[in-house]
Amino acid sequence: MNLFRKKAIADILKSSSTEAQHSGLAKHLGVRDLTAFGIAAIIGAGIFSTIGKASADGGPGVIFLFIFTAIACSFAAFAYAEFASLIPVSGSAYTYSYVAFGELFAWIIGWALIMEYAIGNVTVAISWSDYFTSLISNATPYKVSEWLCLDYFTAKASYIKVMAALLGGSTIEQIAANSDLASSMEGFYAYSSAPSIGSLKIIFDAPALLINVLITWLVYRGIRESRNASNIMVVIKLVVVVLVIVVGVFFINTENWNPFLPNGIGGLLSGISAVFFAYIGFDAISTTAEECKNPQRDLPRGILYSILICTVLYVAIALVITGIVKYNELKVGDPLAYVFEKISSLKWLSGVIAVSAVVAMASVMLVFQLGQPRIWMSMSRDGLLPPIFAKVHPKFKTPSFSTLFTGLMVALPIFFVDINMVTDICSAGTLFAFMLVCGGVLKLHTDPNAPRSSFKTPYINSKFIIPALFILTLSLVLVYAPDWLGYYFKFESWSSFFTKLPMYAFFIGFALISYLAFRYSFSLIPVLGLLSCFYMLSQLGSKNWFYFLVWLIIGLVIYFAYGYRHSKLIKRA
């Protein structure tokens, strides 16, 4: 049983060319369109929502976290750009892993990417619904009923919690004023007012389902229509973000920047998941490789340009909002709108921000919904999924069945998903993909027979730099954080051990990578990309590692039940 059989790059390109001749995708994308797709994917929940929580935890110093995360993503982006230039097909990290590590890893990464694109879009759809219903309530005399804005299980759990408090003697007013219970009131009202079929309450997030249907229809219709819609939405939200920065800079009170790191490094790093989620999506650009006019030239540029532009905007926005109000006020769902509501002369701008947030979330969904069907299509071409997933619509030139199936995968979890859990699991799957792409570039660099990409990551020898960085990290921990070291090396219980396991894995991995870098003189940039993504993965917590492991096990069951036996590499052999 050869689980690590690899695909030759020449075979991939030949297969892609054959597919293009028979039922290929339409080539409409240039570097400007790819950059716009990247911005569309990145500027979404991060700048309109999660930046508030990250700023509340880290203070104005959250800009360092945005910069660190951008640098980490840029290291990974160099690896993506090099692979995208070498293998300009729709498979993204899935295809890159097939070349570098073999079929089993390719399946694992393809399965992980489902978490980033299809499952991640569940989060985006629900967030879009929150913004949309809030906008309807604030800007019109109408209101969307609670039972049409929430999933069934969240509503039922909230109802039980509030009823328990009521039976305990609390009043509705007291529960609404209780910070621990106030968030359950929406679910309570939703469950209480929902119509029933027999004993079953009818509760679902109608706006989230609606936007999913609309985006799926748009992506199904064609890449040109998706590109045009994306470009329009990007222009709208860029105008609003720049307007917020330009107007807001005149209302900054520099005293609000003191202290710059109010909760220290620990408080800053607690926002790492929220900040990283803000950058998820730039890699979706690489899934459109077969629809690019000149993928070898334009894909690397589109990936790197989008990260650079978005980082500048994130840092500027973070400085503006933490300068206008104190950082500890920003733990709200709509921080930008909240900040400008505090300035009486600029309340009109909060309404503009609310509209642009709805547009921004829709554009993120669009790019994610573009990416996932193309992953399905590539896996189907290799025989790992049924042939129908590779079907291209004869008129619209899009992967038709895969697009509809992705829309269904987003729609079903909307009825019952926990949005917070999905956010962290989505980040875990993405970071794992980034790590394998960085590792894949390192593996190709050490293979003298591997073809060379037209885009080359700048080579800096890490032979001494990475081991020195490992020793420096340990030294700083010993000198400045002995309590932290004592905590991780103190065995209290098996439960405590598993909680600490992600950090153990990181330091063991760091030591191993340091040894390999010294032995093989690895290129520095992909090594730093691998390490920084590994570190962020370790900060997601053991619970999310467990959920991610369960997801991978489900994927492996499907692989051995279908993919391994139908792989086209077996048929060639």
Q: pLDDT by residue (tens digit) across 58-78?
A: 888 888 888 888 888 888 888
Q: Which residues contact 549 (CB under 8 A, 6 or more apart)?
A: none
Please write the tens of the pLDDT for every residue from 139-187: 778 888 888 888 888 888 888 988 988 888 888 888 888 767 777 888 8
Is 70 exceeded by the pLDDT of residue 398?
yes
Give the 3-state secondary structure of 409-458.
Answer: HHHHHHHCCCHHHHHHHHHHHHHHHHHHHHHHHHHHHCCCCCCCCCCCCC
Residue 573 neighbours by CB distance under 10 Å: 8
At residue 498, does pLDDT exceed 70? yes
Which amino acid makes up residue 419?
A: I
- Predicted confidence (pLDDT) at residue 18 exceeds the cutoff of 80: no
In this predicted structure, what is the pLDDT of residue 23? 47
Q: What is the mean pLDDT of residues 213-229?
A: 85
Residue with tokens 């408090």: 165
**pLDDT computed for residue 25 by the predictor:** 65
Structure tokens, 82: 């090099």
Cα separation, 389 vs 564, whole angstroms = 16
pLDDT given for residue 567 in this prediction: 87
494-529 exposure pattern, b = at least 16 Cβ within 10 A, e = fewer = eeeeeebebbeebbebbeebbebbbeeebbbbbbbb
3-state secondary structure of 1: coil
Alpha-helical runs (H) found in 280-326 = 295-324
Q: Tell me, what amino acid is at 448?
A: P
Indicate whether 493 pLDDT > 80: no
Comparison of pLDDT for 269 and 545, the residue scoring more: 545
pLDDT of res. 451: 67
CA distance 507 to 69: 19
Distance CA 456, CA 13 (A): 19
Give how far Cα 502 sits from Cα of 38, 88, 533, 540, Å. Answer: 30, 34, 13, 8
pLDDT tens-digit readout, 431-448: 888 888 898 888 888 777
- Report whether 59 contacts 262 (CB < 8 A): yes
- Write b or e for each residue in 249-276: b if 16 or more Cβ atoms lie within 10 A of its Cβ, otherwise e: eebeeeebbeeeebbeeebbbbbbbbbb
The mean of the pLDDT values for the chain is 82
Greatest mean pLDDT among 3-17, 62-76, 262-276, 322-336 lies in 62-76
Instruction: Name which residue leads in pLDDT, 411 or 422.
Output: 411
Q: Cβ distance 356 to 347 under 8 Å?
A: no
Residue 14 binned pLDDT confidence (cut-offs 50, 70, 90): low
On the question of pLDDT at 565 being above 60, the answer is: yes
Domain range list for the chain? 27-136+213-439, 152-203, 453-572
If one looks up domain 27-136+213-439 in CATH, what number appears? Answer: 1.20.1740.10
Could you read off the pLDDT of 366-394 as tens digits, one per residue? 888 888 888 888 889 888 999 999 898 88
pLDDT > 70: what percent of the chain? 87
DSSP output for 26-90? P--B-HHHHHHHHHHHHSSHIIIIIHHHHHHHHGGGHHHHHHHHHHHHHHHHHHHHHHHHHS-ST
Task: Return the higher-pLDDT residue of 281 and 507.
Answer: 507
Confidence of residue 463 (pLDDT cuts 50, 70, 90): very high
Tally of CB atoms within 10 A around 561: 9
Instruction: Look at 8-17, 244-253, 409-418, 496-505 and tell me which has the smallest mean pLDDT.
Output: 8-17
Q: What is the arithmetic mean of pLDDT over 472-497?
A: 73
- Residue 393, judged by CB atoms within 10 A of its CB (0-12, 13-18, 19+), counts as middle
Residue 418 — pLDDT band, cuts 50, 70, 90? low
Which of 285-289, 517-521, 541-545 has maximum average pLDDT? 517-521
Return the closest-CA partner of residue 45 out of 166, 130, 137, 169. 130
| Highest-pLDDT range among 122-136, 187-201, 344-358, 418-432 | 187-201
Q: What does each C-alpha distance from 535 to 200, 428, 450, 539 come to in angstroms? A: 45, 11, 29, 7
CA atoms of 322 and 282, how far apart (whole Å): 26
Query: Is the pLDDT reported for residue 111 higher than 70?
Result: yes
Q: What is the pLDDT of residue 389?
A: 92
Return the SS3 of 2.
Answer: coil
